[in-house]
Amino acid sequence: MRALVGISCCVKAFGIFNTPNHAASDSYVRVVLGPVGGVPVLVPAGGEGLVADILPRLDGLILTGSRSNVWPGHYDGPPHAEGTPEDQERDATTLPLIRGAIQAGVPLLAICRGMQELNVALGGSLDQRIQDLPRRMDHSTPSDQPIPLVRTGKAHAVRLAPGILLAELAGREEVPVNSLHNQGVQRLAPRLEAVGWAPDGTVEAVRVRESRNFAWGVQWHPEYDWERDEFSRAIFTAFGAACAERSAARFALQAAE
Protein backbone atom coordinates (compact mmCIF):
# COMPACT_ATOMS: atom_id res chain seq x y z
CA MET A 1 0.00 0.00 0.00
CA ARG A 2 1.30 3.44 -0.91
CA ALA A 3 1.67 6.08 1.77
CA LEU A 4 -1.19 8.54 2.31
CA VAL A 5 0.27 12.05 2.08
CA GLY A 6 -1.78 15.00 3.27
CA ILE A 7 -1.66 18.24 1.27
CA SER A 8 -2.85 21.37 3.07
CA CYS A 9 -5.60 23.29 1.27
CA CYS A 10 -6.43 26.98 1.09
CA VAL A 11 -9.91 28.50 0.96
CA LYS A 12 -10.24 30.26 -2.39
CA ALA A 13 -13.16 31.84 -4.21
CA PHE A 14 -14.03 30.33 -7.59
CA GLY A 15 -16.61 31.00 -10.29
CA ILE A 16 -18.95 33.87 -10.99
CA PHE A 17 -20.43 33.64 -7.49
CA ASN A 18 -17.03 33.60 -5.74
CA THR A 19 -17.98 30.36 -4.05
CA PRO A 20 -15.45 29.31 -1.38
CA ASN A 21 -13.53 26.19 -2.40
CA HIS A 22 -10.88 24.15 -0.64
CA ALA A 23 -7.98 24.00 -3.06
CA ALA A 24 -4.37 22.93 -3.51
CA SER A 25 -2.24 23.38 -6.60
CA ASP A 26 -1.92 20.51 -9.06
CA SER A 27 1.84 20.83 -8.59
CA TYR A 28 1.57 19.22 -5.15
CA VAL A 29 -0.70 16.43 -6.34
CA ARG A 30 1.67 15.57 -9.17
CA VAL A 31 4.75 15.57 -6.97
CA VAL A 32 3.10 13.20 -4.48
CA LEU A 33 2.12 10.88 -7.33
CA GLY A 34 5.64 11.28 -8.74
CA PRO A 35 8.85 11.26 -6.69
CA VAL A 36 7.11 11.07 -3.30
CA GLY A 37 5.42 7.86 -4.46
CA GLY A 38 2.31 8.29 -2.33
CA VAL A 39 -1.41 8.88 -2.61
CA PRO A 40 -2.35 12.57 -2.31
CA VAL A 41 -5.00 13.41 0.29
CA LEU A 42 -6.28 16.99 0.25
CA VAL A 43 -6.72 18.30 3.79
CA PRO A 44 -9.52 20.90 3.86
CA ALA A 45 -9.22 24.06 5.89
CA GLY A 46 -11.83 22.91 8.35
CA GLY A 47 -10.32 23.95 11.65
CA GLU A 48 -8.61 22.25 14.57
CA GLY A 49 -11.44 19.73 14.94
CA LEU A 50 -10.14 17.82 11.91
CA VAL A 51 -6.70 17.17 13.31
CA ALA A 52 -7.46 14.34 15.73
CA ASP A 53 -9.45 12.47 13.08
CA ILE A 54 -7.19 12.87 10.07
CA LEU A 55 -3.65 12.85 11.49
CA PRO A 56 -3.57 9.16 12.58
CA ARG A 57 -4.50 8.21 9.01
CA LEU A 58 -1.66 10.14 7.35
CA ASP A 59 1.82 8.86 6.57
CA GLY A 60 3.14 12.29 5.61
CA LEU A 61 2.15 15.94 5.37
CA ILE A 62 3.04 18.64 2.85
CA LEU A 63 2.36 22.22 3.91
CA THR A 64 1.83 24.09 0.68
CA GLY A 65 2.76 27.53 -0.55
CA SER A 66 0.03 30.12 -1.08
CA ARG A 67 -0.55 33.77 -1.94
CA SER A 68 -2.18 34.22 1.45
CA ASN A 69 -0.16 35.13 4.53
CA VAL A 70 -0.37 33.81 8.07
CA TRP A 71 -2.63 36.03 10.18
CA PRO A 72 -0.31 38.20 12.34
CA GLY A 73 -2.44 37.68 15.44
CA HIS A 74 -0.85 34.23 15.70
CA TYR A 75 2.56 35.75 16.40
CA ASP A 76 1.62 39.11 17.93
CA GLY A 77 2.64 40.96 14.80
CA PRO A 78 1.25 44.25 13.49
CA PRO A 79 -1.79 44.12 11.18
CA HIS A 80 -1.09 43.34 7.55
CA ALA A 81 -1.04 46.16 5.02
CA GLU A 82 -4.42 46.75 3.39
CA GLY A 83 -5.09 44.27 0.62
CA THR A 84 -2.76 41.56 1.97
CA PRO A 85 -4.47 38.18 1.42
CA GLU A 86 -5.13 36.14 4.56
CA ASP A 87 -6.67 32.70 5.12
CA GLN A 88 -7.58 32.30 8.78
CA GLU A 89 -9.47 29.06 8.14
CA ARG A 90 -6.28 27.55 6.81
CA ASP A 91 -4.33 28.90 9.81
CA ALA A 92 -6.87 27.33 12.17
CA THR A 93 -6.19 23.95 10.54
CA THR A 94 -2.49 23.95 9.75
CA LEU A 95 -1.06 25.37 12.97
CA PRO A 96 -2.47 22.63 15.23
CA LEU A 97 -1.88 20.07 12.46
CA ILE A 98 1.81 20.96 12.42
CA ARG A 99 2.15 20.59 16.19
CA GLY A 100 0.27 17.29 16.11
CA ALA A 101 2.33 15.90 13.21
CA ILE A 102 5.62 16.69 14.94
CA GLN A 103 4.43 15.15 18.19
CA ALA A 104 3.20 12.00 16.41
CA GLY A 105 6.29 11.66 14.21
CA VAL A 106 4.43 12.13 10.93
CA PRO A 107 6.95 13.13 8.22
CA LEU A 108 6.50 16.79 7.36
CA LEU A 109 7.71 18.95 4.48
CA ALA A 110 6.83 22.65 4.74
CA ILE A 111 7.10 24.79 1.59
CA CYS A 112 7.05 28.61 1.43
CA ARG A 113 3.90 29.65 3.37
CA GLY A 114 4.15 26.22 4.93
CA MET A 115 7.59 27.03 6.34
CA GLN A 116 6.23 30.28 7.71
CA GLU A 117 3.37 28.33 9.34
CA LEU A 118 5.88 25.88 10.79
CA ASN A 119 7.80 28.74 12.40
CA VAL A 120 4.65 30.38 13.79
CA ALA A 121 3.16 27.08 15.01
CA LEU A 122 6.28 26.46 17.11
CA GLY A 123 6.47 29.96 18.58
CA GLY A 124 8.34 32.06 16.02
CA SER A 125 7.39 35.31 14.28
CA LEU A 126 7.47 36.69 10.72
CA ASP A 127 8.65 39.69 8.77
CA GLN A 128 5.69 40.62 6.61
CA ARG A 129 7.40 42.35 3.67
CA ILE A 130 11.07 41.45 3.44
CA GLN A 131 11.56 43.72 0.44
CA ASP A 132 10.77 46.77 2.60
CA LEU A 133 13.52 46.04 5.13
CA PRO A 134 16.98 47.65 4.97
CA ARG A 135 19.64 45.68 3.08
CA ARG A 136 17.23 42.92 2.10
CA MET A 137 16.42 41.53 -1.34
CA ASP A 138 13.05 41.44 -3.05
CA HIS A 139 12.14 37.77 -2.62
CA SER A 140 8.70 38.12 -4.20
CA THR A 141 9.77 37.55 -7.82
CA PRO A 142 12.81 36.24 -9.66
CA SER A 143 15.19 39.11 -10.19
CA ASP A 144 15.66 38.94 -13.95
CA GLN A 145 13.52 36.08 -15.27
CA PRO A 146 11.03 36.36 -18.16
CA ILE A 147 7.38 35.67 -17.35
CA PRO A 148 7.37 32.02 -18.60
CA LEU A 149 10.07 31.24 -16.02
CA VAL A 150 8.60 33.15 -13.09
CA ARG A 151 7.98 29.92 -11.14
CA THR A 152 11.05 27.93 -12.11
CA GLY A 153 13.64 30.63 -12.73
CA LYS A 154 16.49 30.71 -10.23
CA ALA A 155 16.37 34.01 -8.34
CA HIS A 156 19.26 33.69 -5.90
CA ALA A 157 21.56 31.22 -4.18
CA VAL A 158 20.95 29.55 -0.83
CA ARG A 159 23.87 28.67 1.41
CA LEU A 160 23.26 25.36 3.17
CA ALA A 161 24.72 24.38 6.53
CA PRO A 162 27.37 21.68 6.03
CA GLY A 163 26.65 18.12 7.06
CA ILE A 164 22.86 18.38 6.98
CA LEU A 165 20.48 16.31 4.88
CA LEU A 166 19.77 19.12 2.39
CA ALA A 167 23.47 19.62 1.69
CA GLU A 168 23.87 15.87 1.24
CA LEU A 169 20.94 15.76 -1.19
CA ALA A 170 22.32 18.72 -3.14
CA GLY A 171 25.87 17.38 -3.16
CA ARG A 172 27.13 20.89 -2.36
CA GLU A 173 26.63 23.71 0.14
CA GLU A 174 25.26 26.37 -2.20
CA VAL A 175 22.26 25.91 -4.51
CA PRO A 176 20.26 28.23 -6.78
CA VAL A 177 16.55 28.45 -5.97
CA ASN A 178 13.38 30.16 -7.17
CA SER A 179 11.80 32.79 -4.91
CA LEU A 180 8.13 33.77 -4.64
CA HIS A 181 7.49 35.14 -1.15
CA ASN A 182 7.03 38.39 0.74
CA GLN A 183 7.02 37.03 4.28
CA GLY A 184 9.85 35.25 6.02
CA VAL A 185 11.27 34.23 9.36
CA GLN A 186 11.83 37.12 11.78
CA ARG A 187 12.27 35.36 15.14
CA LEU A 188 13.08 31.70 14.71
CA ALA A 189 10.96 29.32 16.79
CA PRO A 190 12.92 27.76 19.68
CA ARG A 191 12.51 24.25 18.31
CA LEU A 192 13.65 25.15 14.80
CA GLU A 193 17.22 25.28 13.51
CA ALA A 194 18.08 27.48 10.53
CA VAL A 195 20.02 25.45 7.96
CA GLY A 196 19.81 27.60 4.81
CA TRP A 197 20.25 31.33 4.12
CA ALA A 198 19.81 33.72 1.17
CA PRO A 199 22.63 36.21 0.42
CA ASP A 200 20.78 38.88 2.45
CA GLY A 201 20.58 36.62 5.51
CA THR A 202 16.93 35.60 5.09
CA VAL A 203 16.34 32.12 6.53
CA GLU A 204 15.54 29.85 3.59
CA ALA A 205 15.54 26.39 5.19
CA VAL A 206 14.86 24.98 8.64
CA ARG A 207 14.64 21.67 10.43
CA VAL A 208 12.86 20.67 13.60
CA ARG A 209 15.31 19.92 16.38
CA GLU A 210 15.20 16.39 17.80
CA SER A 211 12.33 15.47 15.52
CA ARG A 212 11.05 11.89 15.59
CA ASN A 213 10.94 11.85 11.80
CA PHE A 214 11.57 13.89 8.64
CA ALA A 215 10.58 17.49 9.51
CA TRP A 216 12.02 20.15 7.22
CA GLY A 217 10.95 23.48 5.76
CA VAL A 218 12.14 25.31 2.66
CA GLN A 219 11.22 28.84 1.64
CA TRP A 220 11.50 28.17 -2.10
CA HIS A 221 9.30 25.97 -4.36
CA PRO A 222 10.87 22.62 -5.32
CA GLU A 223 7.45 21.35 -6.48
CA TYR A 224 7.72 23.57 -9.57
CA ASP A 225 10.88 22.10 -11.07
CA TRP A 226 11.41 18.58 -9.71
CA GLU A 227 11.10 17.11 -13.19
CA ARG A 228 14.27 18.92 -14.34
CA ASP A 229 16.09 19.82 -11.13
CA GLU A 230 17.87 16.95 -9.38
CA PHE A 231 18.04 18.67 -6.00
CA SER A 232 14.31 19.43 -5.96
CA ARG A 233 13.54 15.83 -6.90
CA ALA A 234 15.90 14.52 -4.22
CA ILE A 235 14.06 16.49 -1.52
CA PHE A 236 10.77 14.82 -2.43
CA THR A 237 12.37 11.39 -2.79
CA ALA A 238 13.81 11.64 0.73
CA PHE A 239 10.47 12.83 2.10
CA GLY A 240 8.72 9.98 0.25
CA ALA A 241 11.06 7.40 1.77
CA ALA A 242 10.14 8.64 5.26
CA CYS A 243 6.43 8.47 4.38
CA ALA A 244 6.78 4.93 3.01
CA GLU A 245 8.57 3.81 6.17
CA ARG A 246 5.80 5.23 8.36
CA SER A 247 3.14 3.61 6.16
CA ALA A 248 4.77 0.21 6.47
CA ALA A 249 5.02 0.58 10.25
CA ARG A 250 1.40 1.69 10.50
CA PHE A 251 0.13 -1.31 8.52
CA ALA A 252 2.34 -3.72 10.46
CA LEU A 253 0.86 -2.37 13.70
CA GLN A 254 -2.68 -2.74 12.39
CA ALA A 255 -1.97 -6.31 11.28
CA ALA A 256 -0.65 -7.20 14.72
CA GLU A 257 -3.73 -5.91 16.52
The catalytic residue positions are: 112, 221, 223
Rounded Cα distance, 88 and 70, in Å: 7
